Structure 1
Amino acid sequence: MQSISVDLMILMTILLVTLILFVWGRWRYDIVALFALLAVAITGIISFDQVFLGFGHPAVITVAAVLVISRGLTKSGFVDVISRYTSRVGDNIVVQIMTLTGLVIILSAFMNNIGALAILMPVAIRMIRKSGKSPSLVLMPLAFGSMLGGLITLIGTPPNIIIATFRDQYGTGPFFMFDFAPVGLGIAIVGFLFISLVGWRLIPQREGQADHALIQIKDYVTELYIPEKSKMIGKRVRDLEAMTEENVAVVAILRKEQRFPAPSSRRMLREGDVLILRGESREFKLLADSAELGIVENKRYKEDLLRSDDVSIIEAVIMPHSLMVGKSARNLQLHSNYGVNILAIARQGRRLSARLGSIRLRSSDVLLMQVPTDKMSDTLSTLGCLSLAEREIQFGRPRQVMLAVLIFGSAILVSFLNILPIQIAFTCAALAMVAFGVLSINEAYKGIDWPVIILLGAMIPVGQALEISGGAQMIANTLLEIGGSIPPYLALLIILVITMFLSDLVNNAATAVLMAPIAINVALGLGVSIDPFLMAVAIGASSAFLTPIGHQSST
């Protein structure tokens, strides 16, 4: 039995606490990763001068560059040019799922899978709603397809990049661009066929409100007017909303021949203004009494009154890293700070009927919102929301599309021919996206998923500490002792299953960082090549199909 040093005991305790915090989800994964990094530094397991070396690791640089390039491809209109043809596939549900899943697999092999998913989700929702079916039938296949596509190439998903650098550290050189394809492509094809022909039929159909019911807000809207001598004359919109603690929102003002959708919280109220309000009936009655407002008898409400060239109505889902998680609309002051009105909230397929201003928002909640059109992209990015059903898809100029594709293709070719290391080639491509005007500098920085970068930069030194301390060797020896004289293929299966299980609970990049050194030591203990074991970790880390928390696509 291998003796355990004090440093190893401390490291294992830190890793155990880290895994518990990852699963618990109380703090975001990048914060947990920083905790683990600082803990191994403060306890002396790694030296202070090595603490932040992970942020300059080739895997971190490559992931950041790929995210910028993906943003460039999206901004140029390249993905939209491809996705617009999906609307021609007809109303057959099997053909729709095959088309959408196949397209997201192809796109995810060469760009960030979250980016590919974000572009295709509005297309999928519009397509399935035209067929009169629930969007849930296509959203899960789309999410799974984005994960399958990432298995095919080196840049498809962060775990592949991490695994390639681990291989390089052991003197056998890194995996190259298409080294994952013989395994990843086979799995992607099998997964594609299963999802398209069988899997979608197993998706549970929730009873109750249909997914499109979120759009129907008529029952939650009323019209009040400001009569002569009302105390609200000369007051501002924010003063009126404050009277109900923002549980009632002014979603439009009708003033003679003018209308103001999503009026500014600073807009002055005048005599005769007709206010279109979103809320609940009991709130309307209280507001009418306290604010001295009159009830409009001949109501003119229709959804078009809530939008204009300057104001759009969109559906958006709250992402896990959103600043909205755990807060209410009142806490966030969405109307005052962002010009946003929440019109409806759906959670797990059901519309919430409670006071919208008081509801604490959760990851994966779907919101129907009024958003300033010219600030829509920036507002959603700031709030941490992903648009589900924008009314139109914007197409880039042909020159921008060709330029983005040329830059991206050149980076792949240079990497494939081994002219430059992938981190250098793709950093050059990211810089070219900015230099040639495909992206602005601000757009490039916004394209980087900083929590993932922090996670990788923090966890890589932790993974190295696991190797240096002998922890990886100890775990590998324990697995081999438990299994006795197990054949290599069975050991490979064990590594794959453990990695798959862990990736369902922990971020896939963190899973790859922790499992790679263990897999390598198991392979060395068996006296076989490390390549199949590293490939098993790569596949397992990107196979978080069982839970909604293992991968951002599922969330």
Structure 2
Amino acid sequence: MTWEMVFVLFTVGCMMCGLFFEIARPALIIFLTLTFFTITGIITPQEAAQGFSNQAMLTIAMLFIIAGTIKKSGIIDRLITNLLNSHDSTQKALLKMIIPFSGFSAFLNNTPIVITLTPVIRNWCEANKISPSKFLIPLSYATILGGTITLIGTSTNLIVNELMLKEGWQGFSIFTLSIIGLPITILGIIYLITIGHRILPNHKVMTEMVKEKYREYLGEVLIDKGCPLTHCTINEAGLRNLKGIYFISIIRGNERITPIKSTTIIKPGDRLIFTGDLSTISEIQNIKGIHLETNTCPPLDELKTNKTKLVEAVVSHHSSLLHKKIKDTQFRAKYDCAVIAVHRSNERIKSKIGDIVLKPGDTLLLITGPDFQKSGIEHDFYVMTHVSQNVYTKSDRKKGWISISIFFIMLSLVSFHVVSMFTAVLITTTLLLLFRIITPSEVKQYIQFNVLMIIACSLGIGTALSTTGTAQWIANKLVLLIEPFGVIAMLVTVYIITNIFTEFITNNAAAVIMFPIIIEISNQVQIDPFSLAVIVTIAASASFITPIGYQTNLIVYGPGGYTFKDYIKVGIPLSFLVMVTTILVVYVTWI
């Protein structure tokens, strides 16, 4: 081994540890790794920048726009509402849900689909007294499986296809992967509505748990007439940085003031509602004119008004809040809301709200003001509650159907090799803008820049593995170890390594890191490189065992009240089923 190979292996290992332990946002960790390789001369600036102009990455960006346009039309909401019937059994309702949306995911990015459907399914489950935990993991898994059916089903498919074309190999057609995607999707759906349905837990969701035991979450302080804090602002009264407690609302007669701002004036007779640890409230109990009320705090629903709502939100992988204390984020001012509770792995974090350091997948129960939806929340949270009743006009639905029609006309042209995939999505996006179905500001909102950053930087890291000979060294060791056991053992090994990577880093990074390795394996062993590329493509998408490996798994993690163990119990059998099916189909078709 050369020093460059040792250096690359060490740096990539550190990157993977950073991603696994979530020390920073994934996009930042991967970007810093690419920067480090560039500064140290492992790759040239030109090689580092290649990923940012990659055609597949631009295709993915435009597919985000198309999916977002269809999502905003309300067509998906209406479809799931019509499909779910209150008289259906749980299994029948589950089947009616996951079949169409695994189909949708074959052509649309599954992240907006899951974001849209989660609150709809939650509401339906609540109305029918069914645990959402029976539905939300199947929703995520079904959309992941559906994404393996076509070239545009996931960003991973497009990235691997672009890497194949760059090597001079034959790429995927739009339906090449269907020979594997369809069988694993059908088998996966059968598993989810039979064995998986029985394994899935019956968890209560965060909102229910807080409502049932609201006195464990909320306390009340009464301001008497003689209190020296009257006519002071919250900030002047020193109530912003109290140890252990966090004020979220003021009840003033029939008025509810939520969230409390620093400039809010305290008046005699105010009831200040707080969340936090009662044992730490001694520092304000000694203030004259303040009384701590026990067992008088109003139920959670009484804090709501026409302008305020109770909202559940999941901290996203790319949130600007990650690894920061809530009190350091100017939460109230930035989002016009107050945090009532934070749950992680279906357990309440019992410490002062302001001191909680946020991580991906944390579920926040918020009481929101009227400006909550205008505060740019979509980049920091997956909102799992309908903040307001969505009313979609005929114009919205018309625009949605126009978008779908244009998109599928373009896909038909791709299928008959009239235009390339890039050209098709470029034309579709241009027409959506020309017909004013979307606005330029919405385009910016729909593009998931963090995903594009991960893809672009991962391509540069893949180049580092290849140019330094690190990929060849890894391939040599794998061939030496596995070749005596035959071709199937090699396919299984490639699949398992890729799948482990995707469970703990990201699907796109896993595919890009594995690609130069399979090139070297195909050079040393008589295996069609196309078959290895297919294995990597499917394995990189088939993330079922952890909530952190795939965005949709993280989205449903908190709202379903799941624990890490739930993903392991339900995901391992499905992962095994998908792996066996994939290996058999690849072996019969391409080996």
Mapped contact 2:335–2:371 kept (Cα < 8 A)? no
Alignment correspondent of 2:214? 218
How many Å apart are 1:190 and its aligned residue? 0.7
SS of corresponding position for 1:554: helix
1:108 to 105, 108, 111: 105
Alignment correspondent of 1:386? 382
TM alignment of 1:363-374, pairs within 5 A: 363-374=360-371
Is 1:412 the counterpart of 2:408? The answer is no
Structure 1 residues 99 and 236, CA gap change in structure 2 (3 angstroms): farther
Q: Deviations over 1:141-190 (max 9, x none)?
A: 22222221211111221211111112212323421222211111111111
* CA distance in 2: counterparts of 1:455 and 1:295, whole angstroms: 50
Alignment correspondent of 1:54? 51
SS of corresponding position for 2:310: strand
Q: Deviations over 1:371-397 (max 9, x none)?
A: 234432644324x22122326552432
Mapped contact 2:331–2:337 kept (Cα < 8 A)? yes
* CA distance in 2: counterparts of 1:473 and 1:198, whole angstroms: 41
Is 1:123 the counterpart of 2:123? The answer is no
Alignment correspondent of 1:451? 450
How many Å apart are 1:487 and its aligned residue? 4.2
How many Å apart are 1:510 and its aligned residue? 0.6
Give the stretch that moved more between structures: 149-158 or 30-39.
30-39
1:157 to 154, 176, 198: 154
* CA distance in 2: counterparts of 1:298 and 1:516, whole angstroms: 61
Point out where structure 1 has 5 or more consecutive residues left out of the alignment: none
Alignment correspondent of 2:95? 98
Structure 1 residues 312 and 541, CA gap change in structure 2 (3 angstroms): same
Mapped contact 2:73–2:399 kept (Cα < 8 A)? yes
Alignment correspondent of 2:265? 268
SS of corresponding position for 1:242: coil
SS of corresponding position for 2:553: coil
Aligned length: 549
Q: Deviations over 1:281-301 (max 9, x none)?
A: 445665354262356799693
Alignment correspondent of 1:134? 131
Alignment correspondent of 1:526? 525
SS of corresponding position for 1:231: coil
SS of corresponding position for 2:230: coil
TM-score norm. by structure 2 comes to 0.84
1:213 alignment partner AA: M
Alignment correspondent of 1:332? 329
* CA distance in 1: counterparts of 2:508 and 2:46, whole angstroms: 24
Give the stretch that moved more between structures: 386-395 or 452-461.
386-395
* CA distance in 2: counterparts of 1:246 and 1:441, whole angstroms: 44
How many Å apart are 1:526 and its aligned residue? 3.3
Is 1:306 the counterpart of 2:303? The answer is yes
1:145 to 142, 145, 161: 142
1:309 alignment partner AA: N
1:212 alignment partner AA: E
* CA distance in 2: counterparts of 1:126 and 1:370, whole angstroms: 18
2:245 to 234, 244, 247: 247
SS of corresponding position for 2:551: coil
* CA distance in 1: counterparts of 2:535 and 2:381, whole angstroms: 33
Give the stretch that moved more between structures: 350-359 or 173-182.
350-359
Q: Deviations over 1:473-514 (max 9, x none)?
A: 343343333334554343222211221122222211011001
Mapped contact 2:221–2:272 kept (Cα < 8 A)? yes
Alignment correspondent of 2:567? none
* CA distance in 2: counterparts of 1:353 and 1:42, whole angstroms: 43
Mapped contact 1:315–1:390 kept (Cα < 8 A)? no
Structure 1 residues 361 and 13, CA gap change in structure 2 (3 angstroms): closer
Alignment correspondent of 2:70? 73
Is 1:191 the counterpart of 2:176? The answer is no
Mapped contact 1:111–1:155 kept (Cα < 8 A)? yes
How many Å apart are 1:221 and its aligned residue? 3.5
Mapped contact 2:335–2:375 kept (Cα < 8 A)? no
Mapped contact 2:65–2:446 kept (Cα < 8 A)? yes
Structure 1 residues 280 and 272, CA gap change in structure 2 (3 angstroms): same
TM alignment of 1:411-490, pairs within 5 A: 411-484=410-483, 487-490=486-489
How many Å apart are 1:59 and its aligned residue? 1.8
SS of corresponding position for 1:504: helix
* CA distance in 1: counterparts of 2:507 and 2:458, whole angstroms: 12
1:38 to 35, 38, 49: 35
Structure 1 residues 349 and 134, CA gap change in structure 2 (3 angstroms): farther
Alignment correspondent of 2:20? 23
Mapped contact 2:343–2:363 kept (Cα < 8 A)? yes
Give the stretch that moved more between structures: 446-455 or 246-255.
246-255
1:242 alignment partner AA: R
Is 1:317 the counterpart of 2:284? The answer is no
SS of corresponding position for 1:419: coil
How many Å apart are 1:194 and its aligned residue? 0.4
* CA distance in 1: counterparts of 2:338 and 2:326, whole angstroms: 9
1:310 alignment partner AA: K
